[in-house]
Chains A and B, each alone.
Chain A
């Protein structure tokens, strides 16, 4: 009886441990090697989470652990390191397009039976959409479904100059997405969210927009976070899980 209780306690302890990350390295035809921190989960989709210029944020890692425990596997992927790009927002547009398509192809080969979901924040929405666009253009002959994507405060303008209306990157018009956008209320993008949604829908995407009250762009990675933003950063995993549930429930594979 005592032995049974000990074994049971041990099992409970093991289950309560956070998911441990390991590394997945995918070598691309160009020679670049894309390394992801993998938070494994036996079931559910694989979330390809593109990390931003500040590297892998603690909030993203915590969220990845939570998501791996409850919803699906997470690959936190630094998209700048393979091409030695500087840690600048402008680097997002410099990630080579062909490599993005090749990387998505390599991921598909590695996990052929899992549903893939791209997750990206801020300027990283740019390579996320370009990756989908390239991949879909290569598989045009097949019945290519919309690609599942979660975007947090996406920044998809080509250039922004006072006095003129900025255009979006080409991938906004070419990628067919099943996309959930989490748009903070305290951000310039909030006032233009419908413009972006209309543009994506015109390209055949399905768009779900959620406004995050009291938050700013980069709310979980800023140096000047408010109490509200810190609390929201701590709940990031739950927020993405809820978003994902809606995204996937409404569009079965």
Chain B
């Protein structure tokens, strides 16, 4: 009971009063640039993931709701591993050591990108943690969410499925880019 109250208070403090419970649809618009080093030493550029649906999750080690949703984000990445789908965990402000310590407790099979100086916070309008965006195959921002949810929920998975069902963007460049970035994501997927 005490731990439930503790978690509840921590979540209330970490989030704005209006934390959402579901992804909010946007009028499609180009996603801001996201070009960051990864925890495993590689580098990831969102623009090179064209042709894939990308879930971009901004999180921090100090944020209890972020920590709470990491396992279900990991399971979501596993569940859709055979599809053109990528989950990116953009850590804002923490040191690599503290991220590694956290991932030692809560392993995550997704690329962890490092934004130590918060360069992505303004263009991506991250006003609370966690903040999550869905980017479609054309590189357009389609949905967003402030707050943590359970990514195992069928309702949450349905949002990805809907975007995955959309046609691939035209042109050989996009397809080639998607294939290349699949390999790249796999190479940096451990994040450990």
Q: Could you tell me which A residues sit within 8 Å of B by CB distance?
A: 54, 88-90, 122-123, 155, 157, 159-166, 185-186, 188, 190-192, 216-218, 221-224
Contact = CB atoms under 8 A, between A and B. Distances in A.
Secondary structure at the B interface, as helix, strand, loop or mixed, is: mixed
B126 A191 contact: yes
A162 B128 CA distance: 9
Contacts of A186: 60, 62-63, 93
Nearest to B9: A223
Contacts of A122: 13
A223 B10 contact: yes
A161 B9 contact: no
B13 A160 contact: no
Contacts of A165: 125, 127
Interface stretch (B18-26, B34-42, B70-78): B18-26
A224 B16 contact: no
Contact of A224 (B10, B19, B26, B145): B10
A88 B129 CA distance: 19
A160 B17 CA distance: 8
Q: Is the interface of A mostly helix, strand, loop or mixed?
A: loop
Nearest to B129: A188
Given A163-B141, A165-B125, A223-B6, 17 more contacts: A155-B16, A155-B17, A157-B127, A160-B127, A162-B133, A163-B144, A185-B93, A186-B63, A188-B127, A190-B93, A191-B118, A191-B121, A192-B121, A216-B14, A222-B9, A222-B13, A224-B64
A89 B133 contact: no
11 contacts: A155-B17, A157-B127, A160-B146, A161-B18, A163-B133, A164-B125, A188-B127, A216-B62, A217-B14, A218-B13, A222-B10
B9 A159 contact: no
A162 B144 contact: yes
B24 A163 contact: yes
B58 to A, nearest CB: 9
Interface of B: 5-10, 12-14, 16-20, 24, 26, 60, 62-64, 92-93, 118, 121-122, 125-129, 131-133, 141, 144-146
Contact of B125 (A54, A88, A163, A217): A163
Nearest to A214: B62
Nearest to A192: B127
A89 B12 CA distance: 8
Contacts of A160: 16-19, 127-128, 146
B12 to A, nearest CB: 6
What 9 A-B pairs are tightest by C-beta distance, nearest first?
A162-B144, A223-B6, A186-B62, A218-B13, A160-B16, A163-B144, A223-B9, A191-B121, A90-B17
Contacts of A163: 24, 26, 125, 133, 141, 144
A217 B14 CA distance: 7
Nearest to A223: B6
Contacts of A192: 121, 127
A206 B127 CA distance: 24
A86 to B, nearest CB: 12
A57 B62 CA distance: 22
Given A216-B13, A217-B14, A224-B64, A162 B145 contact: yes
A204 B145 CA distance: 34
A89 B146 contact: no
A223 B20 CA distance: 22
Nearest to A185: B93
A192 B12 CA distance: 19
Nearest to B145: A162
B13 A217 contact: yes
Nearest to B132: A162
Nearest to B118: A191
A170 B36 CA distance: 37
Nearest to B26: A163
A191 B20 CA distance: 21
Contact of B24 (A155, A162, A166): A162
